[in-house]
Structure 1
Amino acid sequence: MKKTLFAEFTARDGAEEEVARLLRDYALKVREEEGNLAFDVYTKATRPRAFWIFEVYRDDDAFKAHLDAPYGGPFNAALAPLIEESASVLTFLDPLD
């Protein structure tokens, strides 16, 4: 079964360009993962400091491989001081069949 989620966070005032740069670089790497099916990054139209990432992985193993990727830790460490939350807020989704 596919693993689908939203990750969301808010850039601190003045940090939105740096967050966007980090996300663009990270997205290129994630999209190359064998088990990644989607990694789409958005900002909220009415609140451009709010970032939303829609992620889809082939299955639980692919998601685990994503979490274990060597570039994930450095990305999260660089992101942490630039966002208002203590970490990305993850919402896991199930398909409505």
Structure 2
Amino acid sequence: MTQHYIVVATYTAKPETADQVAALLPQLAEASRTEPGNIAYSVARDLEQPHVFTIVETYVDADAFTAHRESTHFAEIGKEQIIPLLESRSVVGYEGDGVIG
């Protein structure tokens, strides 16, 4: 069994900015996957509400998630480009244990 930290984020884009958010999220995901503490980073777009996105992130621990939020790519892509395009966002962290992969 492996301890890990899971984050589930829901981003609700302004309807007129949904396609911009959809284009930026893969860039953020790609950069985030290179972080030393990142285990997985997945982005999904709601089929019925295409302005809603769910991001599931797995890190080795909560400190690795904190490092993610302090990273240059999160500041440049997440904070500066994506967040201003959103109506709302929710970010919830969970401790997990189990087999990853």
Return the TM-score normalized by structure 1: 0.86
Structure 2 length-normalised TM: 0.83
Percentage of identical aligned residues: 29
Runs of 4+ in 1 over 6 A off after TM superposition: none
The correspondence for 1:78, drawn from 64, 81, 88, is 81
Separation in 1, partners of 2:39, 2:55: 13
1:67 to 41, 66, 69: 69
Tell whether the 8 Å contact from 2:4 to 2:96 is kept in structure 1 after alignment: no
Alignment of 1:1-97 (within 5 A): 1-75=3-77, 76-85=79-88, 88-95=89-96
TM-superposed deviation, 1:3: 1.1
Q: CA offset at residue 50 of structure 1? A: 0.4
Structure 2 residue ranges without an equivalent (≥5): none
| CA offsets 1:33-86 (integer angstroms, 9 cap, x no match) | 11101110001121111000000001122222212211111221211221111x
Structure 1 runs not aligned, ≥5 long: none
Question: SS in structure 1 opposite 2:64?
Answer: helix
The Cα RMSD (Å) is 1.7
Of Structure 1 and Structure 2, which has the larger fraction of its residues in strand? 2
Q: Is the 8 A contact 2:5 2:96 kept in 1?
A: no
